[in-house]
Structure 1
Amino acid sequence: MTNLKIGGVPEHFNLPWYLTLREKAYHPEGINLRWQDFPGGTGAMCKALRDGSIDMAVILTEGIIADIAKGNPSKIVQVFVSSPLRWGIHVAADSDYQSVDDLKGTKAAISRFGSGSHLMAYVHAQQEGWDLEKDLDFELVKNLSGALEKLPQGIGDYFMWEKFTTKPYVDSGLFRIVGECPTPWPCFVIAVREELLENQPELVRAILEIINTTTYEFKQIPAIDRMLANRYDQKLEDIQLWLSQTQWSQQNLTQEQVNQVQNQLLKLDLIENKIETDRILFDLNYTFSAE
């Protein structure tokens, strides 16, 4: 049995992994796959991939591409969720800020530098036509729990996070949502350390086959909406809306999509230069078949 560790955010997108792990679906392939939650998000997972404390990650597309361009010894083997991530722009409930325009020149609370909350703050600022030097500043809060604690204290002015994950805190009156910023590309990919890809690619193919079979059928699982709502403390109608907007994938990114992300990162000065697509994507010679 080969021990492998995969990381991801403790959010509803990753319930398919929980289901396969609960069923020990990887054991017949000789794989003891263990899950590690990363509430700190993409920046924390990039660090874990670099230091080898995890072998794989379900990670934000823009974050891992930026980190691979900076030397992360990993590659993307597949898109996990092909639909955009819908980032909510949140402020403390008692904040004076009433609109996105009010946030110009204030501090974005972020989990860490290189995280999705950091990179998407740049994307959002550019979309709003802000001066990236003068109108954008940051406050480190580590994760969602940190933002819930710090924003009401006036530490950081707004916080960008997946809007359905934060919806219970909006409903309870801790946060207000003043806007949204969907990613202009597929939101989650599966990244794997190059060492594993070079030495045991057959294990990665086996893992993908199992998780892809699950995601392909995921929306048809009886009462899956209720399971999600209960597990992630969500209203049933919110989960049903989220399910209708979310698409899992069994394919890898295209070269055009990689170029789109890199062009945006380069434009925002978040990478120094573009790198070749084959340094970002890895071809496992694997194709998922639903039959």
Structure 2
Amino acid sequence: MKQINIGGVPEHFNLAWYMTLKNGEYKDEGINLRWKNYFGGTGAMNKALREGEIDMAVILTEGVIKDIIDGNPSKIVQTFVQSPLIWGIHVAHDSKFKTVEDLKGTRAAISRYGSGSHLMAYINAENHQWNIEKDLNFEVIKNLDGAIEGLTNGDADYFMWEKFTTKPIVDDGIFRRIDNCPSPWPCFVIAVREAFLESNLEDVKTILNIINNTTEEFKDIPSIDKTIANRYDQKLEDVQEWLSLTEWSQDILDESMINTIQDKLLYLDIIPKKVSYDKLVKQL
């Protein structure tokens, strides 16, 4: 049985992977798919892809596009979640900051450079017409636990992370969410190391077929809202809102969207240049 390593964030978006693994669906096809949680998010997964620690990743679109342009030898093979990611903009509960404008020039906590929390800080800054060079400062905090510690201790001033993942921390009075910042594109894609893809193309296709069969019908699974609420310590009404906003995908990112994303990243000076569609995407 062939072992294939895949990484993702331990969040509700990826429950379909857990379910198909639990059901033994990959093993039925001769694949020992090993899931690894990356609490450090996209930056940590990019590093793992580069080093061959994982073969595949369920990863933020903008983060992996930037890293492929920067030399990560991987390709996007599919969109996983079509809908935008809703980034909550959080401060410590007792922080003096009340609005996004109050955060201009302060320190954003980020998991690492090149991560979603880093790149979306630029999107938020542009949304509010800040000076990108003068008004953005960063403090690396590694993960969500690091953000809790950093904001509470005053080592950083605000933190952007997926709204529903951080909602329990807001409910517990640790964070206060002052605004939201949706990503301007489909939020998660599936990326694969090029070297792995070349010699394991059929296995990758098999994995995608299995996960796609589940995500196509994910919202119709009986009591899926209760399952998510229990597993991820979420309030049922929050899960129901999240499900209403989230759309999975079984398709590839098209060239028009890739160009739109690159245009934005180039404008914000996040990438040094645009590259061709086939440099980023492999159509299976």
Supply the AA of the counterpart residue of 1:168.
P
Alpha-carbon offset, residue 281 of structure 1: 0.5
* Secondary structure, counterpart of 2:49 in structure 1: helix
Alpha-carbon offset, residue 78 of structure 1: 0.3
Per-residue CA deviations over 1:241-268 (Å, capped at 9, x if unaligned) read 0000000000010001101111111111
Matching residue of 1:203: 203
In structure 2, C-alpha distance between the alignment counterparts of 1:93 and 1:280, rounded to whole Å: 40
Per-residue CA deviations over 1:53-108 (Å, capped at 9, x if unaligned) read 00000000000000000110100000000000000000000100001010000000
Do residues 232 (structure 1) and 232 (structure 2) align?
yes
In structure 1, C-alpha distance between the alignment counterparts of 2:160 and 2:188, rounded to whole Å: 16
In structure 2, C-alpha distance between the alignment counterparts of 1:164 and 1:28, rounded to whole Å: 34
Matching residue of 2:115: 115
Supply the AA of the counterpart residue of 2:84.
P
Structure 1 gaps of 5+ residues are 285-291
* Secondary structure, counterpart of 2:125 in structure 1: helix
| 1:86-235 equivalence runs, <5 A | 86-235=86-235
Supply the AA of the counterpart residue of 2:272.
E
Structure 1 length normalisation: TM-score? 0.97
Supply the AA of the counterpart residue of 1:107.
R
In structure 1, C-alpha distance between the alignment counterparts of 2:237 and 2:283, rounded to whole Å: 39
Matching residue of 2:275: 275
Alpha-carbon offset, residue 27 of structure 1: 1.0
Matching residue of 1:11: 11
In structure 2, C-alpha distance between the alignment counterparts of 1:257 and 1:108, rounded to whole Å: 28
Matching residue of 1:287: none
State how many pairs are aligned: 284
Per-residue CA deviations over 1:206-263 (Å, capped at 9, x if unaligned) read 0000000000011111000000000000000000000000000000100011011111
Structure 2 gaps of 5+ residues are none
In structure 2, C-alpha distance between the alignment counterparts of 1:135 and 1:200, rounded to whole Å: 45
Alpha-carbon offset, residue 30 of structure 1: 1.1
Per-residue CA deviations over 1:43-62 (Å, capped at 9, x if unaligned) read 00000000000000000000
Alpha-carbon offset, residue 283 of structure 1: 1.0
* Secondary structure, counterpart of 1:133 in structure 2: helix
Matching residue of 2:50: 50
Per-residue CA deviations over 1:115-148 (Å, capped at 9, x if unaligned) read 0000000111011100011100000111111001
Matching residue of 1:41: 41
Identity %: 64
Alpha-carbon offset, residue 170 of structure 1: 0.5
* Secondary structure, counterpart of 1:272 in structure 2: coil
In structure 2, C-alpha distance between the alignment counterparts of 1:139 and 1:200, rounded to whole Å: 39
In structure 1, C-alpha distance between the alignment counterparts of 2:217 and 2:123, rounded to whole Å: 33
Alpha-carbon offset, residue 187 of structure 1: 0.1
In structure 2, C-alpha distance between the alignment counterparts of 1:221 and 1:265, rounded to whole Å: 37
* Secondary structure, counterpart of 2:205 in structure 1: helix
Alpha-carbon offset, residue 152 of structure 1: 1.1
Matching residue of 2:76: 76
| 1:241-260 equivalence runs, <5 A | 241-260=241-260
Matching residue of 2:261: 261
Per-residue CA deviations over 1:171-230 (Å, capped at 9, x if unaligned) read 110000001100010000000000121111000000000000000011111000000000
* Secondary structure, counterpart of 2:59 in structure 1: strand
Structure 2 length normalisation: TM-score? 0.99
In structure 2, C-alpha distance between the alignment counterparts of 1:265 and 1:245, rounded to whole Å: 25
Supply the AA of the counterpart residue of 2:62.
E
